[in-house]
Chain A
Amino acid sequence: MNDFERKLSQQPFRTPPPEWRDAILNAPANVIVPASWTWRDWLWPSPKAWAALAALWMICAAVGLQGDGTPTVEGPVAQQPVDGATLLAFHQAQSLNYAIDPSN
C-alpha cells in the first residue's frame, strides 16, 4: 500500500444513524421462524378447501374406476351418417364456390 492508498484508507466513513439500530433489530423480532417445513405449512392457509378438493378427487377417481372400460369416443366421422342440413350446407358452399371461380 503506497502513501496515496494509505491516505484514502484513513478517511473515516460515517456510521449508520443510531436510531436505525432499534428499528432494524426490532423488525426481525416479529418474524415467525418455522422450526422446519411441513406439509401443514403449505396446507394451512385453507385446510378445508384442500380437504374438499381431495374428497372431490377421490369421488372422481371412484366413478372412473366403476366404468366398464369401453371407450366413449365414437368411430371415424366418415363412417357416420350425414344429416340433411349438413348435406344442404355442403351443396350451397360448392355452388357459391363455383359462382366465384368457375375454373375450380
Chain B
Amino acid sequence: MPPDLQQLYDAHAPALFAFLINFTRREADARDVLQELFLKLAARPERLEGIREARAYLLRLAHHLAIDAHRRRATHEAAVERAAIEPVALFVESADPDEAAFRAALAEALAELPAEQRAVVHLKLWEQMTFAEIAEALEIPANTAASRYRYGLDKLQTLLRPLYEELR
C-alpha cells in the first residue's frame, strides 16, 4: 500500500525542516530538499515498505539529499556568494528578551560547528536519538557519532556558557 504523503508530511515535516535548516543554514535549500524528498517518496512508494522507524529513515534520506544539494551548489556557486549568506532564523521567536537573546546566540553558536557535528548535535538534542540511531541515520560509526557530539557540545558550551550562566 503506498504511503499517505499528507500523513507523512504532517507527522515528520517539522522535524525534517528543523534538521534541514540547521544542517544547510539556508531556508531555500531546506525547501528544495524537502520537496525532493517527497518527490522521491511519491515516485517510489516502496521505499517505505518494511521501514520500522519512518522518522529515522526520512532523516537519513534528508541528510543524503542535503549533502547532494550542497555538492551541486558548491560546483556552481562562487565562494564569495557562499560567504555572503545571511544568518537564518532557526528558532521560534520569543517575546522574552532573555530567551530571544539565548536563541540568537545558540543559532550563531550552531553555525560555528562543522555541518556533520551540527547534524549529530541536532539529532541528539532535538530528536533525542541514541548514538546508535544517529550512527544509522548518518551512516557513520557510533563512536564517531559520540565523539562528534562531544566536540560539538564542548564548543557550544564554550560559546554559550557566559550567557547561560547569566540567564540562570
A33 touches B9 (CB 8 A): no
A29 / chain B contacts, CB cutoff of 8 Å: 42
Most buried by B among A7, A11, A20, A21: A11
The residue of chain B having its C-beta at the shortest distance from the C-beta of A16 within the complex is: B17
User: What is the CB-to-nearest-CB distance from B93 to chain A, in angstroms, rounded to a whole number?
Assistant: 9
Q: DSSP majority for the B interface?
A: helix
Q: DSSP majority for the A interface?
A: helix
B103 / chain A contacts, CB cutoff of 8 Å: 11
Residues from 25 to 42 in A contacting B, C-beta threshold 8 Å: 25, 27-29, 31, 33
Size of the B side of the interface (Cβ < 8 Å), in residues, is 36
Size of the A side of the interface (Cβ < 8 Å), in residues, is 21
Residues from 1 to 47 in A contacting B, C-beta threshold 8 Å: 4-5, 7-9, 11-16, 20-21, 23-25, 27-29, 31, 33
B153 / chain A contacts, CB cutoff of 8 Å: 4-5
B134 interface residue, CB < 8 Å from A? no
Residues from 81 to 97 in A contacting B, C-beta threshold 8 Å: none
Contacts between the two chains (Cβ within 8 Å), count: 80
Alpha-carbon distance between A9 and B153 when the two chains are bound, in angstroms: 12
Partner of A31, one of B13, B39, B125, B160: B39
Residues from 132 to 168 in B contacting A, C-beta threshold 8 Å: 153, 156-157, 160-161, 164
Return the 8 tightest CB-CB contacts between A and B, nearest first: A28-B42, A13-B18, A16-B17, A9-B125, A12-B92, A15-B14, A31-B42, A24-B35
- Additional A-B contacts beyond A4-B161, A27-B39, A28-B42 (15; CB < 8 A): A4-B164, A8-B125, A11-B91, A11-B102, A12-B91, A13-B14, A13-B18, A13-B91, A14-B18, A15-B13, A25-B38, A27-B38, A28-B39, A31-B42, A33-B44
Q: Which residues of B contact A (CB under 8 A)?
A: 5-6, 9, 13-14, 17-18, 21-22, 30-31, 34-35, 38-39, 41-45, 89-92, 102-103, 106, 125-126, 128, 153, 156-157, 160-161, 164
